[in-house]
Structure 1
Amino acid sequence: MKNQNSSDEIDLGQLFQLIGKGFDSLFKFILRVFVYLKRNIFILIGLAAIGFAVGYGLNQIVTKRQKTDVIVKPQLESKNYLYDVIDEIQANIDAKDSSFFESIGIEEVDFAGLEITVNRVIEEGTSDRDMQYLELLQSFENTDAIADIVRAELENKSSFNHRITFYYKNKELGIQFAKKVMEYINSSTYFDEVLMISRNNARGRIEQNELLLDQVDKIITNYTNNLASRNNAVSSERIILDNQEQVNIADLFEYKNLLIRDIEIKKLELAEQTEPISIINFGKSHEVQKSFFGKNLVLIPSILIVVFLFVSFLVYLNQKSKTLIL
């Protein structure tokens, strides 16, 4: 037992010695860093000052990029067309194909810093998985595969808008470029024809629904008048038409509401479906905001200081390697 207790005391003593050595090594490391910074403080301050000066000069010389954001909504399954035509335009920008842009009405193009991108606008609080699910449901929006409540949820809360971003350095030419490109995107003859047919169908649907709505109103009015002329309590909630089956009055009111709602939806379609890619908002030109470490005033001093520290570390390793060899 005495031997076991003495062994435990020795083990604990060694443990405390290791902990003490660890703290001592840490303290020495911090002290060495402090001494290193103290010796080179003027060099570091000088590098930072030089970096700030160079960064400021570059900011004055280099032309900053501008951008314009255009929020759009594809109509009639034209989303794939939108992405394809944007890729086509970007490919011609990369190739600096002036003849292509002349063919779409852009006589002068400044390719310096010119870029066009497109991405989906995701609402706050909506994950990518939710958006994929909503897009899947949207493919059935013109069928009876989903309930009216789900369709309403898609129309009201799920945004399938897209953001087209134009980057450029020449503000005047960039704005003109963005307008001409949007005109080119909406110049598809195929979608123009499809839109015309869709709008004609919507107008015809509205006319037919209005005729049916007028007939339903007449039936309900005649039923009400007959009730008032008889001056007695309602014995049945059904209307017996001439040589027809009985019709539930509640079903008539529900049918009327459905007709009204369908008319409203078709009128919204006529208002929205004016172009293959509806422009919701054509933003103003503004400067591209870089991240904090992407700005020259911060980036260049940081690079100079990091390079100096790296060189100092290599010198230190070289000195240590010589002592080890000796």
Structure 2
Amino acid sequence: MSTNSQDQEIDLGQIRIGIKKFFNGIINSIFDVIFFVKKKIIVIGTLFLIGIVLGFFIDKNPVYTQDITVIPNFGSNEYLYKKVDFLNSRIIEKDEQFFKSIGINNSDEIGKIQIKAINGIFGFVNMRDNEQNFELIKLMAEDGNIDEIIKSDITSKNYYLHNITFQTAEKINQNEVIDPLLKYLQDNSFYKTQQKIYQENTNDKIKFNDSLIKQIDGLIVKLSDNNSGSNVSISENKGISELINKKNELVIESQYLKIHKHEYEDIIKTQNVSLNNVSTKGLNNKMKLILPVLFVFLYLGFYKFSSLYKKQLARINS
């Protein structure tokens, strides 16, 4: 028993010594850095100032982000994505002639064009003209993770809204870049035909609904006049209620169609354009903060390497 107690005391004593050495090592390292910075304060301060000045100079020439929110109509979602892919291929090839042919003269200032769906799963499953979407999502969710399905290209490409973004080295004017780009996206004979059909169908449906609403109004007036001053039966009461409900459905449908009638003015309808936003992604507009730290870090790394190199050289020579 006594031997075990002595062994435990020795082990605890060694642990205390180990902990003390560990914390002493941390404290020594901290003060080594403080004393080193104090010794090299002029060099470190100079590098820090150079980094700030150079960072401000670089940040004076920011990168600008151009953002276009669009609605692809008439089932043109896949077409839109392929068009953007083609535009990117022309940017990679530096095909200035192609861009001039569609009305863009400064294509060398345009960076990669990106398109991303704006997450609209609730709108996707509740679309009046595509009611099978909800059943499709339910079916897909049975075989996989719902989050992955919502974010997948197959699903997201069919969302209502999509963002087209690209970066430019200089500020741009909408009529010089955005308008020619959007005009190019509209240039498709198949979807132009689809557009005419959709517009005609929408107008016909609105006219039909308006006519039906007038007929329902007339029926309601007749039923009300016939039953004025007399007892109204339950069946007649129910008939008026059903007519009112039907009229309400037709009014809601017509309102929905009128909204889409406005959207059907273009194959790719522009909802919003936001120009010349200073990009803060990645290292953009952050060099005045990054360069001072980077210069000091590189100096410290070089100094440490130089010290180790001298020690190893002295070891070899000895």
TM-score by length of 2: 0.81
Could you say if the C-alpha distance between residues 277 and 293 of structure 1 is closer, same or farther in structure 2, counting changes exceeding 3 Å? Answer: closer
Question: Aligned residue for 2:289?
Answer: 298
Could you say if the C-alpha distance between residues 4 and 141 of structure 1 is closer, same or farther in structure 2, counting changes exceeding 3 Å? Answer: same
* 2:221 is equivalent to residue 221 of structure 1: yes
Question: Aligned residue for 1:67?
Answer: 65
Question: Aligned residue for 1:128?
Answer: none
Question: Aligned residue for 1:111?
Answer: 108
The code of the aligned residue for 1:100 comes to: F
Distance 1:144 1:305 in 2: 60
Distance 1:38 1:293 in 2: 33
- One of 232, 256, 270 as aligned partner of 2:261: 270
Distance 2:69 2:234 in 1: 55
Structure 1 residue 57: deviation in Å? 4.1
Structure 1 residue 217: deviation in Å? 1.8
Structure 1 residue 23: deviation in Å? 1.8
Number of corresponding residues: 295
Question: Aligned residue for 1:249?
Answer: 240
Could you say if the C-alpha distance between residues 7 and 167 of structure 1 is closer, same or farther in structure 2, counting changes exceeding 3 Å? Answer: closer
Structure 1 residue 169: deviation in Å? 3.0
Could you report, residue by residue, the CA deviation over 1:280-309 in whole angstroms, capped at 9, with x for unpaired residues? 122243433456785332333233222211
Secondary structure of the structure 2 residue equivalent to 1:283: strand
Range 73-82 or range 286-295, more displaced = 286-295
Distance 1:203 1:141 in 2: 15
* 2:134 is equivalent to residue 137 of structure 1: no
Question: Aligned residue for 1:37?
Answer: 37
Could you say if the C-alpha distance between residues 235 and 297 of structure 1 is closer, same or farther in structure 2, counting changes exceeding 3 Å? Answer: closer
Question: Aligned residue for 2:184?
Answer: 184
Secondary structure of the structure 2 residue equivalent to 1:71: strand
Gaps of 5+ in 2: 136-158
Distance 1:225 1:139 in 2: 39
* 2:211 is equivalent to residue 203 of structure 1: no
Distance 2:284 2:84 in 1: 30
Could you say if the C-alpha distance between residues 211 and 144 of structure 1 is closer, same or farther in structure 2, counting changes exceeding 3 Å? Answer: farther
Range 219-228 or range 34-43, more displaced = 34-43
The code of the aligned residue for 1:142 comes to: N
1:145-184 equivalences in 2 (<5 Å): 160-172=160-172, 176-184=176-184
Provide the identity percentage. Answer: 24
Structure 1 residue 224: deviation in Å? 0.7
The code of the aligned residue for 1:310 comes to: G
Q: CA RMSD in A?
A: 3.0
Question: Aligned residue for 2:48?
Answer: 48
Cα pair 1:292 1:298 within 8 Å, conserved: no
Question: Aligned residue for 2:156?
Answer: none
Structure 1 residue 94: deviation in Å? 1.8
Cα pair 1:68 1:167 within 8 Å, conserved: yes
- One of 108, 116, 121 as aligned partner of 2:118: 121
Cα pair 1:65 1:113 within 8 Å, conserved: no
Question: Aligned residue for 2:147?
Answer: none
Distance 2:131 2:3 in 1: 87
Distance 2:56 2:216 in 1: 75
TM-score by length of 1: 0.79
Detail structure 1 runs of 4+ shifted over 6 Å in the superposition.
Answer: none
Structure 1 residue 50: deviation in Å? 2.2
Question: Aligned residue for 1:19?
Answer: 19
Structure 1 residue 31: deviation in Å? 2.2
Cα pair 2:65 2:168 within 8 Å, conserved: yes
Gaps of 5+ in 1: 123-130, 148-158, 240-246
Structure 1 residue 197: deviation in Å? 0.4
Could you say if the C-alpha distance between residues 145 and 89 of structure 1 is closer, same or farther in structure 2, counting changes exceeding 3 Å? Answer: closer
Cα pair 2:56 2:287 within 8 Å, conserved: yes
